Amino acid sequence: MSTSGTMTYQQARTLLKKLINAKDKDELQKVISHNVSSCDGVFFAELEATVDQFRARGDEASAQKLKALGDYMARLRFMI
């Protein structure tokens, strides 16, 4: 996503929106596969902040789903 090798906070937020708004598992998998190699500490920090926002609104189900998705993406990104 970024030529410098680091994702900006805006890029991380944009990717999170794409992940959250994916209409089905196929679209979600496509977004993940096209972007997982770009995910870095900035992305995972934004993901955690978004999980915290869901929890603050009382939406524990969405928080848990996003946290599980982040864990999956971290495994893909760092254990390839």
13: left (phi over 0), alpha (psi -120 to 50) or beta: alpha
CA 39, CA 5: separation in Å to the nearest integer?
10
pLDDT digits (tens, 9 = 90+) for 4-28: 568 999 999 999 999 999 999 999 9
pTM of the model: 0.88
pLDDT digits (tens, 9 = 90+) for 19-64: 999 999 999 999 999 999 999 999 999 999 999 999 999 999 999 9
